[in-house]
Structure 1
Amino acid sequence: MSAPVLTLTDVHLTLAGNAGPVDILKGISLTVNRGETVGLIGPSGSGKSSLLMLMGGLERATGGEVRALDHDLTAMDEDALARFRRQNMGVVFQSFHLIPTMTALENVAIPLELAGNKDAFDRAKAELVEVGLGHRLDHYPSQLSGGEQQRVALARAASPRPALFLADEPTGNLDGSTGQAIMDLLFALRDRHGATLILVTHAPELASRCDRIVRLADGRLDATVPA
């Protein structure tokens, strides 16, 4: 069996709400192996996106331990987490989170520049060509369709050659055919980089493409679905 790339042990997440503390995640324990693709499913409010954010160190657990690539994310400060993500993770959201004043090429190159890559723009161009946007390098997000913006986001996520891809409803803002094309690209990028992919989705047909499906219900793993 492959070595674990991600391990969650009795993870809890409690956030402040208007009526008091709200328990979002309640004792999640989960292991994801290197190279595996995992679909996170469950009803709205079940904690899927929160769990993904914990896996990426974008949210901090209030209990338990999150280990990624044998690093304890729960023990890192914000700067260390940012460096770790930049070097090891590619994150794709439903909203594209592109910088509107930067071209497609600049949006993909900026995290590489921050990581000190001397070939940042060459690699960014190669990634944009890989997702079919070699002719749109100098276009700004407002000049791109939704599908094109998500392709830029995919190129940005793939450019550091991450060990771990995290995707939160990456087709949620796209029509059916465009969404299908984006998912094909995401799986192709994952295969090309030999990365682990964890995908939050409401779409059963997308989850079925994963090696394993993990279902959440009310902040807990649903024992009725083999994990």
Structure 2
Amino acid sequence: MLRSVLSLKGACLTLQGNAGPVDILQDISLEIEQGESIGLVGPSGSGKSSLLMLMGGLERATGGTVQALEHDLTAMDEDALARFRRGNMGIVFQSFHLIPTMTALENVATPLELAGHRDAFERAEAELEAVGLASRMQHYPAQMSGGEQQRVALARAAAPRPAILLADEPTGNLDGSNGAAIMDLLFGLRDRHGATLVLVTHAPELAARCTRVVHLRDGRIERETRNAEAAQ
């Protein structure tokens, strides 16, 4: 039975700028069910990445509520949010955010170790193999291409087998062929782990693979569309 995995009700985000408060997101209400894939689209500055950050508890709503897996993120302190993300969310950024002094294997295994998984390295190996990096596990980020680094980031996000996968422009720094490969891997990870996927993208072909697309403009939801083929 489907259940609400992410629930936003009247969520707002206002940040302080040099000229005073700036409304980034206004009155966002959105329900995302288990197993859905949601594309967040809109022009630059429309609030896509900020909305993703609210969903991940990386930004705190200044109004309304944000719930993930029936937990109120707006009521948690930073330590509780970090623990919740570690156990329930995988986040992929456009700029990879790998630790340069760690190998690919260590980058993927370290969050698992911090979460107390005794099989951290075994799981890390399995995820790196799944993204096609079996021969690159002992390489450092500087020894890898952008596409390979993003594969490591995907493996790191998927290794805890999270209920929620969040991706912010996952193909934004990649060329066409690498971007297409990352798209395939991202949706493959979603299917393999049964995760709910939310991604920010400017790429129409990536949004078209999502079951639902949320269009933002000026910090508000302008409309939603459903992709019939992706929903089948």
Residue aligning to 1:26: 26
Tell me how far apart the structure 1 counterparts of residues 211 and 140 of structure 2 sit (CA, whole Å).
36
CA distance in 2, matches of 1:127, 1:39: 24
Aligned structure 1 segments of 4 or more residues deviating by more than 3 angstroms: none
d(CA) in 1 for partners of 2:114 and 2:91?
A: 16
Partner of 2:148: 148
- Secondary structure in 2 matching 1:135: helix
TM alignment of 1:13-162, pairs within 5 A: 13-162=13-162
Q: CA deviation at 1:128?
A: 0.4
Match of 2:192 in 1: 192
Partner of 2:229: none
CA distance in 2, matches of 1:154, 1:3: 25
**Shift in Å, 1:18:** 1.1
Output the amino acid matched with 1:27: D
Q: In angstroms, what is the RMSD of aligned CA positions? A: 0.8
Q: CA deviation at 1:226?
A: 3.6
Aligned residue pairs, count:
226
Residue 121 of structure 1 deviates from its aligned partner by 0.7
Structure 2: gaps spanning 5 or more residues: 227-232
Shift, 1:93, TM fit: 0.6
Find the aligned partners of 1:120 and 1:99 in 2 and give their Cα distance. Answer: 17
Residues 166-185 of structure 1: CA deviation (Å, up to 9, x unaligned): 00000000001100000100
**1:25 & 1:153 partners in 2: Cα distance?**
28
- The CA deviation string for residues 39-80 of structure 1, in whole angstroms up to 9 with x for no partner, is 000000000000000000011000010000010000000011
In 1, Cα distance between the equivalents of 2:173 and 2:26?
29
* Aligned counterparts of 1:167 and 1:46: Cα–Cα separation in 2: 17
TM-score, normalising length from structure 1? 0.98
Distance 1:47 1:35 in 2: 24
Show the counterpart of 1:201.
201
The offset of 1:2, in angstroms, is 1.3
TM-score normalised to structure 2 length: 0.96
The letter for the 1-side match of 2:102 is M
The code of the aligned residue for 2:84 comes to F
| Cα distance in 1, alignment partners of residues 78 and 16 from structure 2 | 20
**CA–CA distance in 2 between the matches of 1:181 and 1:175?**
10
Aligned ranges for residues 210-221 of structure 1 at < 5 Å? Answer: 210-221=210-221
Aligned to 2:2, the other structure's residue is in SS state: coil
Within 1, Cα distance between the matches of 2:45 and 2:133?
35
Hey, what's the Cα distance between the residues in 1 that align with 2:213 and 2:34?
A: 16
Deviations for 1:142-185, whole angstroms, at most 9, x for unmatched residues? 00000000000000000000000000000000001100000100
Distance 2:51 2:213 in 1: 14
SS at match of 1:161: coil
- Alpha-carbon shift at residue 125 of structure 1 (Å): 0.7
SS at match of 2:134: coil
